[in-house]
Every structure is written in C-alpha cells, then in structure tokens.
C-alpha cells in the first residue's frame, strides 16, 4: 500500500453502504461524480513538434495523485505531454484511497483512457481479467529507456506489457547521521551486527527501531525484507502467489528472526501511526526506522525536520547466499483501460512519459521518489534520491510490497496476522498464526 | 388507557361505515392521487430495501470478485480463484466464515459486547442524566447542553477527537496520568484487550446524551398530577420514579430500547475511523465493508457476512414488531 492518508472519505463510506446493501457493482455510479480536476489545457495546435508525431483529440486521464504537491507535478507532466504529442489531456483527480477502493467498478464502468496504477501482481490481477489494454507496441519504442527489471514490472501474467512506470522508491533503514556520529555507531551489514547495534542503542537509552503498525501495512515491509534476506526473492514471490504454503519452515524462520528483533522495536506499535514513529526518529529518541523513502523523507519535509541529517542503509545481510541482493521498491505507473476511447493518443502520451526527460520533469519538485529510466539523474535529486538510485540499481531483483505482490485480500489477512504476532511473538503463537494464514490463503487463492 | 378504549369501542362501528362510504365517494382523480401516494413509497421500499436485501442473500451463495457477470455454474474445486469467478458456491461462504475466517467470531463477540454495554450502561446512564436534569438541579440547562453536545457531532469527528485523548505519546489521558513515556505508555487504541473498551467509552459519551434528550422529552410530557398524587400518598423519589413515572413512559421506553439496539448493531464509524476495524475492533459491519469494498472484492463472502448481520438484526426487529402488533390488536380496531 505505502500510501500515506488512510482516512476514509465520505465517498468510501457511501460505497461501503452501497456494497453492504448488495448493490456493489453499480458501474460508474461513483466514478461518474469524480472531481473533475484542474485540466492541464494549454491548447496546442497541431504544429507542435513532438518526437512521436502529433495525434489529435482529447484523452482523459484518471489520476489518484490527489496530494497537492504530486498533483501539481502530474499537471506539469501532462502539459509537457500535450506539447509533445498534440493530444489534449483532461485530468480527473480522485482522492487516492477512494480511487484504489473503487478500481473494480471504475474499470468496468466508464473509465478514463489512461489511469494511474501500481506495478506487481496488483497490476497483473486487473490485466488478467481483461480490464487493461496491452501496450506491447509502446514498449517496442520505449523499451530502450528501461532496464529488464522495469520491463518485468510492467509485464502481465500473459507476457504482454500493460504499464509504463514513472517512479519508484526503496524500503531501507533510516537513521540520523548526527546520532551515529555522536555515539560512534557504525552501519551494520550483517544480522549479528544489527542485533549488537540495537543492544548498544538500548543501553544508551535510545529506542533501537522506531515502529508503528496502526495502519496495518507498514509492518508488512518488515516481513518482506526478512523473507527476502532469509529465503531469497524467488521464494518470496512464490509465497506471495501462494505457490509455497504459509506453513513452510522458511516462513517460521522469518517470524523467528523477527521475534529476536522485537525486544529492540518500539512497543505499542499497533496503536501508533507511522507518522508518529517517524517523529520519534526526527526527535532522535529512536536510532533507526525501517520504511520507504516516500514516507520517511516526505515526513521530514512535512515536519521541517533536518532532511540533510537523514541517511539510510540497506537492510543487513542474513543469509549469505542472498546477501543484500533484494529489496522492496514499489513502483507506480500508468495504464490504458480496456474501454479507452482514444487509444492512439493515449499510447502516444505513454510513449512520451516513458522517457528520461519526462520522468525528470515529473520529479522536479519531488524529494523522495526516483525515476526508473536508465541513466536518469535528475538535476534536482538530493542525497537521499541519489543514494536510492544507486541502491536500487545494485539489486538483482526488486519486490513491490506485500499488498502489491500478492492478492490484496491476502495482504489484508496478513495485516491482521502480523498485528497478532506483534502482540505475542512467542513460538506457539507463530505456529498458530502460520496455520491461520495458510487456511485463509487457500480460500483466497484456490477452492 | 382503558377509559379511552371504552369510549372508542361503541363509536367504532358507525365510524367504519362512514369511512367505507367515504371511499366509494372518492372521485377518479382522488383514487389516482391515493394510488400514487401509496405506490411511490411502496416502489421505493421494494427498490431500496427489499431488492438489495434479497440480492444480498442471493450473492451470499456465490463466489464473485465483482469483475464480469454472474452465471449459474457451480464453482469448480481446487482451481485458482481468478478462473473461478461469478459461480454458485453453495454454503461455502458461510462455512468459511465460521471455520477459517479468524475475524468472524471476535466480530460477533464484539457486537454482542457493544449491545450489552449500550443496554446495561450507556442507556441507563442517559436515563439517569435525564431524570436528574428533570428534577431541576442548579444549572440544568448548562448540563443539558454539555451532555447533548456530542450528539450534534458526527461519529467520524468523535473518533478523531478521542484519538487526541488516547494517543500514546502525545494524547491527553496519558500525559495527565504521566504514562506517555516510551516504555510506560498505555496503548489505549492499539492493545486489543483495551481498545474495544476505549472505543465503547467514546460511543457511550455520545449515546448517553442521545438517550438523555429522548428521555427528557418523555419526562416533560408526564402529567405532573401523577407525581403530586404519589407524593401525597407518601412515596419517596425512588418509588415515584419506578412505580409511577417509569410505567407511564412505556411508549418512550420502547422507542429508546429500539434506538439502543439499532445504534449498537449499526456501529461502524468509530471503529472504522480508529483503525478500520482490525486488531481487536472487529465488528460485523466492518467485515462486510472490508470484504466488499476494496481493490479485490470478495462480494459473495462479504454478502454472507451481511446476511449474518441481517439475521441478528431480525431478532430485535421481530420482537419489536410482535409487541407493537399485539398491542394494536389488544386495543382493538378503531
């Protein structure tokens, strides 16, 4: 998920009521009244000189980039796309939580030509049900701008491409440089070093790991990284698709390592929102925080904390055969809906967006995400972003996040299970929780 | 009340005859108006109450993720869910809910706790407030306003206000009692053994005010001569209330009972605002929503949970209707 605002909107609640009453799929009932956001319209005559030639008409673009900063960046991206392609873009901005919750009804109702979405199984799930348009021809033109990993992320279960990525961000361990310098801490690269460092912090009166899971999703990231460090990327993805049972000893190992770490994590995580955990790090009461740059760096900017003092390291190695080869780096991008009316223009716009120049333009005001185009180093990148590019580049494979790599219903089940684990990380409880996870996975994936 | 029926019974027969004659005298235009005035509400009732309710029951026997249509084929066993969509699933949804779904039984338990707290604590508390204010204690208007204030706030707002009170490190309660440190903070909303009770305090805060206003209106309507007579007969305040005032207020008591049951069964907003109804705050209404609303929907499963909630709601509804009809038939046709 990794999207900040979790407050339910009135529309969500209304939809909840409609759903509860059994009229769940009312087509475009809700999407029809989506707020018609600021159109980007600089009317451009057909004489503009775009690389991909000019196409006519208007393309509607459903956007969940509803926060003011990213909304402005998105509007400027669309303006640039209009200048390059000649197609007018009409942006329909919807609150991002509402957008995600309504996606099934939206795509089956009267969807916009283009829409914002997420890579991973979360994209493949809708593509597999014929709600998105394959864009292999777009990738034939922009393929050279991206590495193989980015193309894999944009590929559906059927081998066709469905998405053009715009940015991603890494999940890493954050710390304040000043704290590490003052106390003489060094960045840990192995599990033993991490535990030793945590122990030392605890005796120094610092919470080793700031930790929050009231929202449910942040702790899924800890499971992801421990699983990838202990069992590797392939195992992790198989588990996410339920090709490996949740009762597997490999999963037990993940929970056991986590239980070893629990004494060093901030207590009462289930009642704390991640923003408050980030504040503990800002206040230097906590030594480390494992979360995405999209959240932590953004929170530092929001709170006007010392962003220059913030630094990160990738999660330490646990199993030498997988070293530090993998991480969660959730990717966002754009897709064309199956019911799109102006397909040619929509494809032309995606061809423009799939270039380094367009990504750099989009990230002008962004201080936490990084583009995916090869060799892209936007002039506006700060230290965190520059390091993000390097560290993501070092990975042999990147996962998306549990709720993007698995069926979201399974991620919901795991949210409850991991919260129960946080309450009681005992060996007996781990066994119970694994059994419950497997039983639920069976009803969600098969049967 | 008996004196009223005595006078009505003899008057009933001529009144009925008059009315029948009246109906025949209606012009065609009047009949159209009557048909419209009865037909429109009936249609709305069928469209927005009966159709969704029956559709929910039907959907609860299917497996459907909301994509594509429904068909009447039976679901195949041991096939990936994505290929097994919109099919008839028998009672599997119900079976899974009670056996595998770990949130189901906690949700039922929490709904019952919610009901019990409302019936045994929140509503009597509101009645107590009403009686005290009705006795005209000093500053009763001020108390009345203060206690009624929460009722004017939306439940979503109440949830947010109380988050400021309960927040672990920054909240009012932990700060006042000095438990806001990093090691000793009380995790009011995150501890699954505490958070239901914490949220019930929020709910009671509002429910007591609501009941108070309803009950106060009823108390004002009680004939003061009844009380005077009771005082003359030597009854004390306790006896006056329980032996005289409370029985006279039977209609209001029934309304308050119904309101209490409805409010506790439809509880949703507070837990959804607090943590979306997970980790100790599961309620049936929330489980219905979390399965039906969202990216990947389990419409059939969510509908099955909705039917369970419907069946539970039917119990107090039937009791209420039974009581009402019995009273009407006892009082005779008028």
Judged by CB atoms closer than 8 Å, whether chains meet at A22 and B303 is answered as yes
CA quadruple A174, A177, A183, A184: dihedral sign: positive
Q: Could you give the ipTM of this predicted complex?
A: 0.70
- Short-list B248, B20, B233, B265, CA closest to B118: B265
Q: Domain ranges for chain B, please list them.
A: 103-331
Which residues does chain B have within 8 Å of residue A28's beta carbon, measured at their own beta carbons? none
Judged by CB atoms closer than 8 Å, whether chains meet at A24 and B297 is answered as yes
pLDDT tens-digit readout, A423-441: 999 999 999 999 999 999 9
- What's the per-residue H, E or C state across chain A? CCCCCCCCCHHHHHHHHHHHCCCCCCHHHCHHHCCCCCCCCCCCCCCCCCCCCCCCCEEEEEECCCCHHHHHHHHHHHHHHHHHHCCEEEEEECCHHHHHHCHHHHHHCCCCCEEEEECCHHHHHHHHCCCECCCHHHHHHHHHHCCHHHHHHCECCCCCECEEEEEECCEEEEEEHHHHHHHCCCCCCEHHHHHHHHHHHHHCCCEEEECCCCCCCHHHHHHHHHHHHHHCHHHHHHHHCCCCCCCCHHHHHHHHHHHHHHHHECCCHHHCCHHHHHHHHHCCCEEEEEEEHHHHHHHHHHCCCCHHHEEEECCCECCCCCCCCEEECCEEEEEEECCCCCHHHHHHHHHHHCCHHHHHHHHHHCCCCECCCCCCCCCCCCHHHHHHHHHHHHCCEEECCHHHHCCHHHHHHHHHHHHHHHHCCCHHHHHHHHHHHHHHHHHHHCC
As its CATH architecture, domain B103-331 has: Orthogonal Bundle (1.10)
Which residues does chain B have within 8 Å of residue A19's beta carbon, measured at their own beta carbons? 288-289, 292-293, 297, 299, 302
Query: Which 8-state DSSP code applies to residue B74?
Result: B
Rounded distance, CA A428 to CA A417, Å? 14
Which residue in chain B has the smallest CA separation from A23?
B52
Which residues does chain B have within 8 Å of residue A128's beta carbon, measured at their own beta carbons? 82
Residue where the block lists tokens 């070293």: A323
Residues 35-94 on B with a CB inside 8 Å of A are 48, 52-53, 55-56, 59, 65-68, 75, 77-82, 84, 92
On the 0-12 / 13-18 / 19+ scale of CB atoms within 10 A, B119 is middle
Residues 166-225 on B with a CB inside 8 Å of A are 167-170, 182-183, 185, 187-192, 195
Residues 93-112 on B with a CB inside 8 Å of A are 96, 100-103
Q: Which of A271, A402, A432, A440 to mutate: most B Cβ within 10 Å?
A: A271
Q: Six-digit token pair at B328?
A: 């009407």
**B217-226 own/partner pairs: CB under 8 Å, 24+ apart:** B217/B252, B218/B249, B218/B251, B218/B252, B219/B130, B219/B131, B219/B134, B219/B245, B219/B249, B220/B134, B222/B248, B222/B249, B223/B248
Q: Which of A209, A443, A445, A446 to mutate: most B Cβ within 10 Å?
A: A443
Q: Six-digit token pair at B45?
A: 């009732």
A129 in contact with B, Cβ within 8 Å: yes
Q: Which of B104, B265, B294, B309 to mutate: most A Cβ within 10 Å?
A: B294
Q: In Å, how far is A105's CA from the nearest CA of chain B?
A: 8
Judged by CB atoms closer than 8 Å, whether chains meet at A22 and B56 is answered as yes
Which residue in chain A has the smallest CA separation from B189?
A271
Q: Which of A10, A14, A20, A96 to mutate: most B Cβ within 10 Å?
A: A20
Q: Classify B63 as helix, strand or coil.
A: strand
Q: How many CA atoms does the CB half-sphere of B300 hold within 13 Å?
A: 25
Q: Which of A3, A17, A23, A24 to mutate: most B Cβ within 10 Å?
A: A24
Judged by CB atoms closer than 8 Å, whether chains meet at B66 and A12 is answered as no
Judged by CB atoms closer than 8 Å, whether chains meet at A101 and B289 is answered as no
Which residues does chain A have within 8 Å of residue B61's beta carbon, measured at their own beta carbons? none
The CATH number of the domain covering residues in A10-169+331-399: 3.40.190.10
pLDDT at A19 (0 to 100) = 42
Rounded distance, CA B286 to CA B303, Å? 12
A264 φ, ψ to 5°?
-100, 5
| A171-328+407-445 fold | D-Maltodextrin-Binding Protein; domain 2 (3.40.190)
Judged by CB atoms closer than 8 Å, whether chains meet at B66 and A24 is answered as yes
How many other CB atoms are there within 10 angstroms of residue A229's CB atom? 24
On the 0-12 / 13-18 / 19+ scale of CB atoms within 10 A, B43 is exposed
pLDDT at B22 (0 to 100) = 57
Rounded distance, CA B122 to CA B201, Å? 9
Which residue in chain A has the smallest CA separation from B89?
A447
Judged by CB atoms closer than 8 Å, whether chains meet at B278 and A131 is answered as no
pLDDT tens-digit readout, B216-275: 999 988 888 998 899 899 888 888 888 888 888 888 888 898 889 888 888 999 999 888
Judged by CB atoms closer than 8 Å, whether chains meet at B272 and A13 is answered as yes
pLDDT at A31 (0 to 100) = 38
In angstroms, how far is CA A381 from the centroid of its own chain? 19
pLDDT at A312 (0 to 100) = 96
| Nearest CB to B279 within list A270, A285, A439 | A270
Q: In Å, how far is B235's CA from the nearest CA of chain A?
A: 51
CA distances from residue A291 to A211, A219, A329, B189 in whole angstroms, order as listed: 9, 9, 11, 22
Q: In Å, how far is A45's CA from the nearest CA of chain B?
A: 39
CA angle, B111 then B117 then B119, to 5°: 100
Rounded distance, CA B98 to CA B301, Å? 11
pTM for this prediction: 0.78
- Short-list A318, A326, A122, A329, CA closest to A236: A326
Judged by CB atoms closer than 8 Å, whether chains meet at B278 and A415 is answered as yes
| Nearest CB to A21 within list B52, B78, B299 | B52
Rounded distance, CA A345 to CA A338, Å? 14
Rounded distance, CA B33 to CA B218, Å? 36
Residues of chain B falling short of pLDDT 70: 1-24, 182, 331-334
A171 φ, ψ to 5°?
-95, 115
Helix axes B92-99, B299-331, angle to 10 degrees: 90
CA quadruple A300, A303, A306, A308: dihedral sign: positive
Which residue in chain A has the smallest CA separation from B160?
A7
A267 in contact with B, Cβ within 8 Å: yes
CATH 3.40.190.10 in chain A, residue ranges:
10-169+331-399, 171-328+407-445
Which residues does chain B have within 8 Å of residue A412's beta carbon, measured at their own beta carbons? 290, 294
Which residues does chain A have within 8 Å of residue B80's beta carbon, measured at their own beta carbons? 445-446
A247 in contact with B, Cβ within 8 Å: no
pLDDT at B59 (0 to 100) = 93
Q: Report how many Cβ contacts below 8 Å link chain A to chain B.
A: 160
- Rg over CA atoms, chain A: 22
Rounded distance, CA A164 to CA A333, Å? 5
Residues of chain A falling short of pLDDT 70: 1-54, 375, 377, 447
| Nearest CB to B296 within list A271, A409, A436 | A409
Q: Which of A3, A19, A120, A424 to mutate: most B Cβ within 10 Å?
A: A19
Judged by CB atoms closer than 8 Å, whether chains meet at A12 and B293 is answered as yes
| Nearest CB to B298 within list A12, A409, A423 | A409
Q: In Å, how far is A286's CA from the nearest CA of chain B?
A: 10
């Amino acid at each position: 998920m990794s999207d900040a605002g979790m407050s339910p909107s009135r529309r969500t609640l209304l939809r909840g009521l409609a759903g509860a009453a059994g009229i769940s799929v009312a087509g475009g009932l809700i999407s029809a009244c989506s707020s018609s956001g600021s159109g980007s319209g600089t009317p451009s005559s057909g004489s503009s000189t775009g690389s991909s030639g000019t196409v006519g008409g208007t393309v509607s673009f459903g956007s969940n980039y509803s926060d003011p900063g990213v909304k402005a960046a998105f509007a400027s991206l669309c303006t640039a796309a209009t200048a390059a392609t000649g197609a007018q873009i009409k942006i329909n901005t919807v609150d991002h939580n509402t957008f995600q919750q309504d996606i099934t009804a939206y795509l089956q109702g009267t969807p916009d030509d283009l829409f914002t979405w997420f890579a991973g199984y979360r994209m493949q799930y809708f593509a597999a049900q014929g709600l998105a348009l394959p864009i292999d021809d777009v990738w034939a033109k922009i393929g050279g701008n991206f590495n193989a990993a980015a193309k894999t992320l944009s590929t559906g279960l059927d081998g066709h491409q469905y998405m053009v990525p715009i940015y991603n961000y890494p999940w890493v361990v954050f710390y304040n440089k000043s704290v590490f310098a003052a106390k003489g801490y060094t960045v840990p690269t192995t599990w033993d070093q991490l535990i030793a460092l945590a122990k030392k912090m605890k005796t120094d009166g610092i919470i080793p790991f700031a930790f929050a899971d009231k929202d449910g999703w942040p702790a899924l990231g800890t499971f992801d990284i421990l699983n990838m460090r202990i069992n590797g990327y392939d195992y992790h993805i198989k588990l996410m698709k339920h090709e490996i049972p949740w009762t597997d000893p490999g999963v037990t190992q993940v929970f056991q390592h986590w239980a070893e770490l629990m004494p060093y994590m901030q207590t009462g995580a289930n009642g704390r929102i991640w923003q408050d955990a980030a504040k503990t790090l800002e206040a230097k009461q906590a030594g480390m925080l494992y979360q995405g740059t999209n959240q932590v760096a953004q929170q530092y900017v929001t709170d006007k904390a010392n962003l220059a003092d913030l630094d990160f390291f990738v999660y330490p190695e646990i199993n030498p055969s997988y070293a530090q080869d993998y991480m969660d780096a959730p990717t966002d991008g754009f897709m064309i809906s199956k019911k799109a009316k102006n397909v040619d223009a929509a494809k032309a716009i995606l061809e423009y967006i799939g270039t380094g120049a367009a990504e750099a333009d989009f990230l002008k005001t962004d201080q936490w995400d990084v583009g995916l185009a090869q060799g892209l180093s936007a002039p506006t990148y700060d230290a965190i972003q520059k390091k993000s590019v390097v560290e993501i580049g070092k990975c042999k494979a990147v996962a998306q996040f549990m709720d993007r790599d698995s069926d979201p219903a399974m991620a919901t089940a795991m949210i409850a299970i991991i919260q129960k684990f946080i309450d009681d990380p005992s060996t007996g409880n781990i066994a119970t929780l694994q059994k419950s996870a497997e039983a639920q996975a069976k009803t969600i994936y098969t049967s | 009340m008996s004196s009223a029926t005595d006078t009505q019974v003899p008057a009933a027969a001529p009144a009925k005859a008059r009315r029948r004659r009246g109906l025949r005298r209606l012009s065609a235009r009047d009949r159209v108006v009557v048909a419209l005035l009865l037909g429109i509400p009936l249609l709305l009732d069928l469209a927005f109450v009966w159709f969704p309710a029956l559709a929910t029951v039907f959907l609860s026997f299917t497996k459907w993720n909301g994509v594509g249509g429904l068909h009447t084929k039976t679901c195949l066993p041991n096939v990936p869910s994505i290929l097994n969509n919109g099919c008839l699933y028998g009672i599997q949804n119900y079976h899974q809910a009670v056996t595998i779904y770990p949130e189901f039984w906690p949700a039922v338990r929490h709904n019952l706790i919610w009901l019990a707290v409302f019936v045994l604590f929140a509503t009597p508390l509101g009645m107590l407030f009403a009686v005290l204010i009705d006795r005209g204690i000093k500053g009763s208007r001020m108390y009345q306003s203060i206690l009624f204030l929460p009722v004017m706030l939306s439940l979503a707002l109440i949830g947010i206000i109380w988050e400021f009170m309960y927040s672990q490190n920054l909240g009012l309660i932990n700060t006042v009692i000095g438990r806001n440190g990093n090691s000793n903070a009380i995790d009011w909303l995150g501890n699954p053994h505490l958070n239901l009770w914490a949220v019930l305090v929020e709910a009671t805060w509002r429910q007591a005010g609501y009941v108070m206003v309803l009950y106060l209106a009823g108390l004002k309507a009680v004939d003061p001569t009844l009380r005077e007579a009771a005082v003359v007969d030597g009854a004390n305040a306790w006896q006056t209330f329980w032996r005289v005032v409370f029985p006279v207020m039977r209609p209001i008591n029934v309304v308050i009972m119904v309101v209490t049951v409805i409010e506790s069964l439809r509880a949703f907003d507070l837990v959804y605002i607090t943590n979306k109804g997970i980790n100790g705050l599961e309620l049936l209404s929330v489980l219905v929503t979390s399965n039906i609303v969202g990216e990947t929907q389990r419409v059939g499963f969510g509908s099955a949970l909705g039917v369970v909630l419907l069946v539970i709601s039917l119990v107090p509804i039937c009791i209420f209707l039974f009581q009402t009809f019995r009273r009407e038939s006892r009082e005779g046709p008028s």
